[in-house]
Amino acid sequence: MKVIIMGCGRVGAHLATTLDREGHDVTVLDTTSAAFARRLPPEFRGRAIVGNGIDVDVLRRAGIADADAFVAVTQGDNRNVMAAQIAQHVFNVPRVVCRIYDPIREEIYHTLGIETISPTKVGAQLLKEALLR
């Protein structure tokens, strides 16, 4: 599977490394190259591209036209939402997943047909389950 991951923070880098190890074709995007050096292991075989994922030219450069999946995991909810919508509605990427911290915004975009994950909601739920076990 050809995957583009936008945002090379802890989650993005971890996801990229895992998918790369499993043999997927991985491209990671971040606005700073320092993120790649700090977080990607030396054996990472995927591509790392510096650029802003809400810029269609950067997305094209990352190969979005023939990507199978797109994941938006930058620190900014709005950036994630915008990039995910570009991937889904402009480039028709078959599988798009978007992280949105704010649970209310997550709900809105979920009803608009984007696959969303709110770590705030999921995290709170897991913590609650651990507490009440």
Partner 1 sequence: MYIIIVGGGKVGFYLASELVAEGNEILVIEQEPAKVERINDELGDVAMQGDGCEAAVLENAGTGRADMFIAVTGDDEDNLVSCQVARKKFNVPRTIARLNNPKNALIFKKLGIDTTVSATAAIMAHIEQELPTHHLIPLLSLRGSGLQIVEAQIAEDSPATGRKLSELPLPQQTLIALVIDANGHPHVPDADTELTAGDKVLAVTRPDAEDALRQILIG
Residues near partner 1, by CB under 8 A: 54-57, 76-79, 81-82, 85-86, 89-90, 102, 104-105, 108, 111-112
Q: Nearer Cβ to partner 1, position 25 or 50?
A: 50
Residue 6 · residue 80 · CB < 8 Å: yes
**Alpha helices, DSSP H only, in the chain?**
10-21, 34-39, 56-61, 77-85, 103-111, 119-132
Q: Nearer Cβ to partner 1, position 16 or 81?
A: 81
- Other CB atoms within a 10 A radius of the CB of residue 99 amount to 24
- Closest separation between CB of residue 79 and partner 1, Å? 5
The residue with tokens 């606005």 is 31
Residue 66 · residue 93 · CB < 8 Å: no
Q: Nearer Cβ to partner 1, position 40 or 84?
A: 84
- Closest separation between CB of residue 83 and partner 1, Å? 8
- Closest separation between CB of residue 114 and partner 1, Å? 11
Instruction: Please give the radius of gyration of the chain, using alpha carbons only, rounded to the nearest integer.
Output: 15
- Closest separation between CB of residue 92 and partner 1, Å? 12
Q: Nearer Cβ to partner 1, position 20 or 77?
A: 77
Phi and psi for 24 in degrees, rounded to 5?
-85, 160
